[in-house]
Amino acid sequence: MLPFSRTESSHFLLVAAVTLFVVLDLSVLAINYGIVWRVDQDTVVINIAGRQRMLTERMTKALLLLQDATNPEAARSARDELRDSAQQFTQTLAAFQHGGPVIYSNGKKFTIPPLADADTAEMLATGQRLWAGIEPLIQPLLPATLPPPGKNDADLITAIAVMRRDGPALVRTMNQLTTQIEMHATRSTRYLRAVHTGAFLLALANFVVILTLLRRRYREALRGLEVLRDLIDQIGAGVCLVDDQGRILAANKAAGALIGRDAARLQGMLFERLLERDEDVWVSHLPDGNVRALDVVHGSFNAAQISGTVMTLLDVSSRYTERNLLRHLANHDQLTGLPNRRLLYDRMLQALAHARRSHSKIGVALIDINGFKSINDQYGHAAGDAVLCQVAQRLAAAVREGDTLARVGGDEYVGLFPGPIETAELDHLMQRLHECFSQPFETDIAQVKLTVRASIGLAEYPRDGETTDTLLRAADKAMYRIKHSEAAEGATPFSRRREKGWG
């Protein structure tokens, strides 16, 4: 053991510094937990706000289906969808304004606190005003005992006209509300991270105090680099001593574990070649395939006629994972893991920009599962979710590398096929997408396999539209033409199977 002075004052200071370091470290862990909890809560609220836009679109779709209904069964199905969407929209809007429970996508209740900031309240008031003009027109159409209204029903025509007039404004308001909630969530998370950073800096300062006290206690023994290496090996944080050329002179065991190499073999290696920069953190790729994110704190040292930089490596993998998870959740469907509408729009904008520059085509396919509501009604939502996930897996395997398959609604998927691509290749892709439904789908019910069919509408840029919205509307119209066409056999490979159902 190396000699050191055993004064009561230095012992007291060291014990106090270590105790404070433990308290601060526990505080950082508690704040980390708070950040994770806040991110989870905000993600659910953001998804629920985004669902309002989808519900508005579902109500428009249900009104059109009700208008086209020719038999009581079709009218009842359209009314059920219209009623469910209107009830969820009203319940969620009230919860945003006054607080209260809503039904989340997994069927569980989630209590939303009232959104009280001025900007959000203004958007909610706008949404409530628009909805107040639409809801009274929808209510008379909801009773299940009513016969099919027909295309000339005055109440239905009025409701569709008002929905077409005010629906886009309501969708925009819900989009703005979602964005505002995201901004509020970002500010809240940023505040928590600022507190986290403050506690971290205090812990770091205290850590420096501990290092100073340790160095003071061992000052009589610190005569060279080997002794210093023995000391830093006792520190839980990673420490590298780097010379003025950026080469590692010494590293402790913790640094080797964080970087993923034996500490003894780090000597002489360039520090910056061992790690990759990812925004505000450094990333190390471990031999087992895992990734570790590190904060690197710079200091200086001058000992035994050697000077350089002290690199203190702090593991921030949880924060790095949380950030990436939040980004992933904001851009992907939670059930299937596919890109959601937001990410689809971003990629469509990129594909359109490239297509305009290169004068090439783009294909957009809208895939709608036929009769999916009947699966949920007969077998339950668990079976429906299983089918949705398997459909996503099959469709994702059928498209090309570089294509995008997104889930944009309950039973709707969109395929984006960026150029350069020709019509013959699009036809081949449509055939492959249809073949995804040629085999039955497994469920969680013993010995129950479901035969599921789908209708697929295809739109091409620039023939059918030159913007994301026009292309998606064109694909949607093509899909509905295929779904309702009686001439199902004898066209392109993706229009030969238009009359589909599940069984």
Q: Say whether pLDDT at 497 is over 90.
A: no
* Tokens found for residue 172: 């925009």
- Partner residues linked to 276 by β-bridges: 283
The Cα–Cα gap between 302 and 104 comes to: 59
For residue 409, what pLDDT band results from cuts at 50, 70 and 90? confident
Fill in the DSSP letter of residue 255: H
CA angle 233-237-240, nearest 5°?
65
The Cα–Cα gap between 335 and 406 comes to: 12
pLDDT digits (tens, 9 = 90+) for 7-28: 556 667 777 777 877 887 787 7
The Cα–Cα gap between 372 and 81 comes to: 12
Amino acid at 327: R
The Cα–Cα gap between 96 and 126 comes to: 13
Fill in the DSSP letter of residue 370: T
Highest mean pLDDT among 79-93, 120-134, 220-234, 467-481: 467-481
Q: Say whether pLDDT at 2 is over 50.
A: no
Tell me, what's the pLDDT at 1? Answer: 37
- In the chain, the percentage of residues whose pLDDT exceeds 90 is 22
* Tokens found for residue 44: 């659910």
Nearest to 384 by CA among 393, 395, 375: 375
Report the mean per-residue pLDDT for the chain. Answer: 81
Domains delineated in the chain? 24-197 (1.20.120), 222-321 (3.30.450.20), 332-484 (3.30.70.270)
pLDDT digits (tens, 9 = 90+) for 144-176: 677 777 666 888 888 888 888 888 888 888 888
The Cα–Cα gap between 318 and 323 comes to: 9
Backbone angles phi, psi at 310, to 5 degrees: -95, 120
Tell me, what's the pLDDT at 354? Answer: 95
Interval 1-11 mean pLDDT: 50
Tell me, what's the pLDDT at 498? Answer: 30
Tell me, what's the pLDDT at 305? Answer: 62
The Cα–Cα gap between 212 and 271 comes to: 24
For residue 344, what pLDDT band results from cuts at 50, 70 and 90? very high
Amino acid at 68: D
Cα 490–chain centre separation: 41
Q: Say whether pLDDT at 325 is over 60.
A: yes
The DSSP line for 470-496 is HHHHHHHHHHHHHHH-S--SSSSTTTS
Tell me, what's the pLDDT at 193? Answer: 77
For residue 431, what pLDDT band results from cuts at 50, 70 and 90? very high
Tell me, what's the pLDDT at 255? Answer: 84
Q: Say whether pLDDT at 399 is over 60.
A: yes
The Cα–Cα gap between 290 and 279 comes to: 19
Nearest to 281 by CA among 267, 270, 297: 297
Highest mean pLDDT among 47-61, 66-80, 308-322, 349-363: 349-363
Q: Is residue 112 packed enough to be buried (19+ CB in 10 Å), middle (13-18) or exposed (0-12)?
A: buried
Higher pLDDT, 395 or 199: 395
For residue 499, what pLDDT band results from cuts at 50, 70 and 90? very low
Tell me, what's the pLDDT at 106? Answer: 62
The model scores a pTM over 0.75: no
291-296 long-range contacts, Cβ below 8 Å, gap at least 24?
291/317, 292/258, 292/260, 292/317, 293/317, 293/319, 293/320, 293/321, 294/238, 294/258
Exposure string of 367-381, with b = 16+ CB inside 10 Å and e = fewer, is: bbbbbbeebbeebee
89-93 long-range contacts, Cβ below 8 Å, gap at least 24?
89/52, 89/55, 89/56, 89/59, 89/131, 90/131, 90/135, 92/48, 92/51, 92/52, 92/55, 93/52, 93/124, 93/127, 93/128, 93/131
Q: Say whether pLDDT at 502 is over 60.
A: no
Interval 282-302 mean pLDDT: 82
The Cα–Cα gap between 89 and 107 comes to: 15
Exposure string of 52-65, with b = 16+ CB inside 10 Å and e = fewer, is: bbbbbbbbbbbbbb
For residue 487, what pLDDT band results from cuts at 50, 70 and 90? very low
